[in-house]
């Protein structure tokens, strides 16, 4: 077969190079689920990124509109499966605000303990997965999961389930915590301390780890605010925004803790922020345990079937990944008219493109890991 040769003299121009497009995901070990990004690369440098989301879309918001308020709690577990208690809390508090209920004091303290413990377990998961992204051959993962498992055991004792707790109720808790709850929490905290120290030693002190993460994936504070980032991703860029401090819910105004911020807004700061946040969580839980007193866990007069007056409410809490908000519209009756989840991961993920372009392919993996996304929450 002969083809027409163009009429240009050979080699009068420089070699033309073409950017290569590689498809990372949806089945790729380091995209944390079914995220897909199409990388355009020039050698090892990333020149463009196109993120694709939606593989996990299950219509959780719409489904919540077809079931009553109590049934919706289970769906919150399924959207944010690494910080279930925090997700449940947002939903339950939104319903409470709408129905003008207030949970008794003991229920609120228990909620706080469980939410902070869940922050610990979620961040442990991050440390492990991030270690794998950076290339520690599974050691960070097993170290992180050892401690996460103890927390998970505790959750199982409390809620009866390891993953889908559905333990919070509008108005309080589903049932009383086990009798040895306080002792078990203290025991778990002790183990968590050991775990954080171990992981910190394995990663933070490592010269290669620092070389891989420092100065990589820079996100300036202005950009972070513009993208609507929240949680550790925003705080690592130097913005001290923490809903627990800014608009205290539960009893966060009665406990002492610091808002951790980074200085550089790079991957290492995001990592460091999370590690330091874990220490703060332990501090919060210890204060909560001292304040925990026997008492009722649901209000005296809680209707069997919860009905809300017409109205709308937006309730947000500080989940491990950032601002987890529930927007709820009611037209009366026992189910929401419209429910919208404000996902922290989705907003954080939008900043990915800015952070990845100009870096190396290996950096793209690390930057994505540092955002700590849960795809179920992104796609809902």
Interface with another protein (CB under 8 A): 20-23, 28-30, 41, 44, 131-139, 141-143, 146, 202-203, 206-212, 214-215, 218, 220-221, 225, 237-241, 263-266, 360-363, 365
Paired with 313 in beta bridges are 328
* Nearer to another protein (CB atom), residue 74 or residue 238: 238
Which of 284, 340, 344 is closest to 320 using CA atoms?
Answer: 344
| Residue recorded with tokens 């409390």 | 158
Eight-state DSSP code of residue 252: G
Which of 141, 150, 351, 159 is closest to 267 using CA atoms?
Answer: 351
Closest separation in Å from C-beta 31 to another protein: 10
Contacts of 30 (CB under 8 A, 6+ apart): 132, 133, 365, 368, 369
* Nearer to another protein (CB atom), residue 206 or residue 334: 206
How many CA atoms are closer than 13 Å to the CA of 373, on its beta-carbon side? 31
Closest separation in Å from C-beta 356 to another protein: 13
The region, left, alpha or beta by phi > 0 then psi within -120 to 50, assigned to residue 33 is left
Spatial separation of the C-alpha atoms in residues 59 and 63, rounded to whole Å: 6
Name the CA dihedral angle for 46, 220, 371, 119, rounded to a multiple of 10 degrees: 170
Per the CB < 8 A criterion, the answer to whether 210 and 299 are in contact is no
Which of 269, 261, 272, 262 is closest to 217 using CA atoms?
Answer: 269
Eight-state DSSP code of residue 81: S
SS3 call for 24: strand
Across 144-164, b (16+ Cβ under 10 Å) vs e yields bbbbbebbbebbeebbeeeeb
Per the CB < 8 A criterion, the answer to whether 370 and 217 are in contact is yes
Closest separation in Å from C-beta 149 to another protein: 11
* Nearer to another protein (CB atom), residue 218 or residue 337: 218
Per the CB < 8 A criterion, the answer to whether 97 and 284 are in contact is no
> Cα-atom radius of gyration of the chain, to the nearest Å?
23
* Nearer to another protein (CB atom), residue 92 or residue 365: 365
Paired with 311 in beta bridges are 330
Dihedrals φ, ψ of 274, to 5°?
-70, -40
């Amino acid at each position: 077969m002969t083809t027409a040769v163009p009429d240009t003299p050979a080699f009068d121009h420089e070699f033309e190079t073409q950017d290569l497009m590689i498809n990372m995901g949806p089945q790729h070990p380091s995209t944390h689920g079914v995220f897909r990004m199409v990388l355009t690369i020039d050698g090892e440098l990333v020149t463009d990124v196109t993120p694709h989301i939606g593989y996990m879309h299950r219509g959780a918001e719409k489904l919540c509109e077809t079931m009553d308020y109590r049934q919706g709690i289970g769906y919150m577990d399924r959207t944010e499966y690494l910080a279930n208690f925090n997700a449940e809390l947002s939903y339950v508090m939104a319903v409470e605000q709408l129905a003008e209920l207030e949970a008794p004091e003991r229920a609120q303290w228990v909620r706080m303990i469980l939410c902070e413990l869940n922050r610990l377990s979620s961040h442990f998961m991050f440390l492990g997965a991030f270690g794998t992204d950076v290339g520690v051959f599974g050691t960070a993962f097993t170290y992180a999961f050892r401690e996460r498992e103890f927390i998970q055991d505790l959750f199982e004792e409390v809620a009866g389930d390891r993953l889908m707790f559905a333990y919070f109720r509008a108005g309080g808790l589903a049932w009383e915590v086990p009798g040895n709850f306080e002792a078990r929490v203290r025991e778990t905290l002790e183990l968590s301390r050991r775990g954080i120290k171990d992981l910190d030693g394995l990663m933070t002190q490592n010269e290669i780890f620092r070389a891989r993460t420092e100065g990589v994936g820079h996100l300036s504070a202005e950009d972070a605010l513009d993208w609507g980032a929240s949680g550790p991703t925003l705080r690592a860029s130097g913005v001290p925004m923490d809903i627990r401090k800014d608009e205290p819910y539960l009893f966060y105004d009665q406990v002492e803790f610091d808002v951790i911020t980074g200085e550089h807004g790079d991957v290492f700061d995001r990592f460091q922020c999370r590690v330091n946040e874990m220490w703060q969580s332990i501090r919060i839980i210890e204060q909560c345990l001292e304040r925990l007193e026997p008492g009722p866990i649901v209000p005296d007069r809680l209707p069997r079937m919860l009905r809300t007056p017409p109205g709308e409410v937006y309730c947000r809490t500080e989940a491990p990944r950032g601002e987890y908000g529930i927007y709820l519209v009611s037209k009366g009756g026992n189910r929401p008219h419209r429910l919208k989840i404000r996902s922290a991961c989705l907003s954080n993920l939008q900043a990915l493109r800015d952070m990845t372009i100009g870096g190396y392919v290996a950096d793209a993996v690390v930057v994505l890991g540092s955002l700590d996304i849960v795809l179920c929450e992104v796609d809902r």
